Chain A
């Protein structure tokens, strides 16, 4: 079953602009994670935010989490062509051994 749902499904912006992707989920979570997938490849773990955290940064990435709204956002600042990829959120539920992934946002950075 899918818990995380990303929005938008696709996003196209110019290089240098900021990209924002959103994720909504349904049940209580331990943490929320973001992954990147380049075309035809596996997923790469980007960042994890715990349920008691509200914001986290890693380089050009900024993740926010609002547990009251059951939503998260991923902001990529000063986008580059190499950021072109699909981005997935995944939720970790207490007691569960597995993550539940959303369907992803396809991000295209135009030069």
Chain B
């Protein structure tokens, strides 16, 4: 069963901490994505990557960075967590024509920053 695995389902961090959210896929997908989901705002794209070491800003990249050192792993980094980054974070992956074939999502990480 192919899948996208996010390292934590729930995470609580303190303001100012550096936070790493990890995502691993086993489908040999080239594209990987990080979204955040908030009530009333839907899914908003933070960053995406279409190849190893490549990254593109999404709609809301401020306060975040990403790392893709290996094809199967895409990490989202909150350099200094703030309370307004409390959210559900969703990772997804796809083939290069993922817009034509659909995304596979992980189960999500619910991050609370206190």
Contact = CB atoms under 8 A, between A and B. Distances in A.
Chain B associates with chain A: yes
B41 A1 contact: no
Interface in A47-70: 48
Nearest to B50: A97
For chain A, the bracket of interface size reads 20 to 34
B103 A41 contact: no
B74 interface: no
Given A42-B108, A97-B50, A98-B48, A103 B40 contact: yes
A101 interface: yes
Contacts of B106: 42
A81 interface: no
A99 interface: yes
A1 B99 contact: no
Contacts of B16: none
Contacts of B108: 40-42
Contacts of B56: 97
Which of B41, B88, B92 lies at the interface centre, i.e. has the most chain A CB atoms within 10 A of its CB?
A: B92
Contact of A96 (B99, B102, B105): B99
Contacts of A31: 99-100
B40 A92 contact: no
A83 B50 CA distance: 33
B101 A48 contact: yes
A18 interface: no
Contact of A97 (B40, B48, B90): B48
Contact of B42 (A41, A99, A104): A104
| Pairs of residues from A and B, 7 with the lowest C-beta to C-beta distance, nearest first | A92-B99, A42-B105, A103-B42, A45-B102, A101-B43, A43-B105, A42-B107
